[in-house]
Structure 1
Amino acid sequence: MRSFLRTGLGFSRNPCATQKSLVGLYLDRGAQNPQNIQKRFLNVHEYVSYTFLSEHGISVPNFGLAKTSDEAFDIAKKMNTKDLVIKAQVLTGGRGKGHFTSGLQGGVHLVTTPEEIKTLASKMIGSTLITKQTGAAGKPCNKVLVTEKKTARKEYYFAIMMERAYGGPVVISSSEGGVEIETVAEKNPKAIKYTPIDIVQGLSKEAAEKIASDIGLGQRKGEIAEFLLKFYDLFLKKDATLVEVNPFTEDVTGKCE
């Protein structure tokens, strides 16, 4: 069987449990309008997302987190490959097109040697990354993710999110991954499929297999269904409002990992 690599998970923690305790706290203090309580959303870095996926039995590329350029070099050297990627761990979109106050262009780079990883890491760590989303102030980069580069045969999109319009969680899937889902929605909305999940019954194997078939993965529906069931388990156990894999990638080697 061919292997699929799952990268780029987005994770937002559901504030409901915290909100409930805060409501009680506000009422105890005589607050007149508990509806005005601030909600806390937590977006996690990419390396944390990789860890969550791995812990739930979902395949991810070999990776390591570095806080210094020397650590980045050591991680890359141990990977023993010429296909390497270094990514600035900054909570913002558009990292690849951003620039650092150090003068480095781009927060994501494909390289072939540990030496290149070290040089790039030295220009990322301790510098500020500026993107369209951060504005001129930018955001500091204190860590970098070093990972193996996998060449894609085909890219897909999967996400599970809490959606008020559906009264619960919904699986969002598309045969057009690797780009912003908003772009797909604008240019080819029919390529995006929405599958509501019964919050009591959960996601069934049959429903997961249908999701796979709907985006052209019918021949591998068993494997995709297994991934989706693990993905939904992650969504529930982390009390998330959104988990996203973009791109969900088929490796050109055709091997399972």
Structure 2
Amino acid sequence: MRLYEHEAADIFEHAGIPVPRRGVVQSPEEAVDLAGRIGYPVMLKAQVLAGGRGLAGGIRPAGSPEEVEEIARTLLNLEIRSMPVRKILVSERVNGSKELYVGIAVDGSVGKPVVIASTEGGVQIEQTAKERPEKVARTYVEPDFGFHAYQARSLLQGLGFSQRVLISCSDVLARLFNVFTRWEALIAEINPLMVLPNGGVLAVDARMEVDNSALHRITHPLPEYLERFQNPIERKGREIGVTYVDLGGDIGLISSGAGLGMATMDIIGERLRPANFLETGGGITEKLLYQCMELVMMKPDLRAIFLNVYGGINPIHEGARGVVRYIKEHNVTLPIVAKALGNRQEETWEILRSGGVHVVTETATEAAVQKLCDLLAGDGQADKFMTR
């Protein structure tokens, strides 16, 4: 799960990584008071568990109490990716000679952490890695041996840093790796790491995601915020016992298994934009499928729903009753396409059809996705939803 920026910054600071003076507020009055104590100019940063804050107007500079009050009021009335802003991070505005990127992530393809550094800080690190690979240095780390400052210096030497900056960045990168391993993180990132005129550095932004499955192995005290999930829909999914991941598209997905769900998501993604990944963990009860419909429908601007379930031991007709009950109780008018195969499939098809669901009886998921595309095209919506 992703931590708020201010939480990640606190963890980084505790590990000895230099960060700006800062504090968290929940009202314009608190923002003005804190900014006065920090000293102007300051940065006001909306605290939400989502990317793209800058593009959404969630990160703003301020040079006076009047500006702070006005901006804070605006931010606290802002929603970013459907997440309301409840808190604002107020921090000193840092002027540096250069912005860098440093980060550590788990590379699932090799099963090791990868340490990445770049002389090109900013939001487009992935694009930089593709277009200007000479500006990005990376190395894989053997988890049993760790990652130390001398290894960080070796990694960074090819990027053209001065000796002073090289020492400062190497120390930060080694400390960041310690944070990464201590907290069982999936990613720990500083973007940007600001180089100061004196050769020192400050972690101007902090990002961290912790592996939910590893929390039981962490031996030091866990702050309560590690129990949170990234957004309200994902949190609701955890409560009902399913896995929900927001993907940002507009085609809702319900599947009865992780493998089936991922394959379906990829097939949908070839032509449309999936709104989510949702797998029921094998359960296909009436109550659970009703709750899954409720969960998927929480996403705003949804255009259609795709249901892909398979029943081996579990009969699937009960789940169909849950889907239809939700449709009728909430007058759902979105097009819904279902591919449901397995135990008591014929009965399942009839139940789904009684609720207006478009049932595809072929075994290939591609055929069901084609049906969905045809339905959207018939409504004149296809061009809106096709990926390019």
**TM-score bucket of the superposed structures, by smaller chain:** 0.7 to 0.9
Aligned mate of 1:213, from 142, 148, 157 = 157
Q: How does 1:229-248 map to 2 (within 5 A)?
A: 229-248=174-193
| 1:145 equivalent among 89, 94, 98 | 89
2:74 paired with 1:120: no
Alpha-carbon contact 1:212-1:218 (below 8 Å) kept: no
Other structure's SS at 1:185 match: helix
Q: What secondary structure is seen at the aligned counterpart in 2 of 1:87?
A: strand
Q: Is the 8 A contact 1:85 1:147 kept in 2?
A: yes
TM-score, structure 1 as length reference = 0.73
Report deviation, 1:217. 2.2
Matching residue's letter, 1:70:
E
Q: CA 1:58/1:88 → structure 2, altered by over 3 Å: closer, same or farther?
A: same
After TM superposition, give the deviation of residue 251 of structure 1 in Å: 1.7
Question: Helix, strand or coil for the counterpart of 2:190?
Answer: strand
Q: Distance in 2 between matches of 1:243 and 1:158?
A: 9
Give 1:128's aligned amino acid. Answer: L
Equivalent residues, number: 201
Matched position secondary structure for 1:249? strand
**Which residue does 2:22 correspond to in 1?**
63
**Structure 2: which 5+ runs fail to align?**
203-388
1:187 aligns with 2:140: no
Report the residue type matching 1:114 in the other structure. Answer: P
Q: Is the 8 A contact 1:209 1:218 kept in 2?
A: no
Cα RMSD over matched residues?
Answer: 1.8
Letter in 1 for 2:42: L
* Aligned position for 1:84: 42
Alpha-carbon distance between aligned partners in 2 of 1:87 and 1:160, rounded to the nearest angstrom: 23
TM-score between both structures, scaled by the size of structure 2: 0.49
1:44 aligned partner, one-letter code = L
| Letter aligned with residue 78 of structure 2 | T
Q: Which has the higher contact order (CA 8 A, sep 6+)?
A: 1
Aligned AA (1:77): G
Q: Which has the larger radius of gyration?
A: 2
Q: Aligned-pair distance for 1:249?
A: 1.0
Letter in 1 for 2:182: K
* Superposition deviation, residue 226 in structure 1: 1.8
Q: Which amino acid aligns with 1:226?
A: D
Cα distance in 1 for residues equivalent to 2:148 and 2:28:
45
Q: 1:176 to 1:121 in 2, by over 3 A?
A: same
8 Å Cα contact 2:106-2:112 kept in structure 1: yes
Structure 2 equivalent of residue 37 of structure 1: none
Whole-Å Cα distance in 2 between the matches of residues 199 and 241 of structure 1? Answer: 13
User: Which blocks of at least 5 consecutive residues in structure 1 are unaligned?
Assistant: 1-41, 99-105
Residues in 1 aligned to 2:105 and 2:85: alpha-carbon distance in whole angstroms: 28
Residue 178 of structure 2 is aligned to residue 228 of structure 1: no
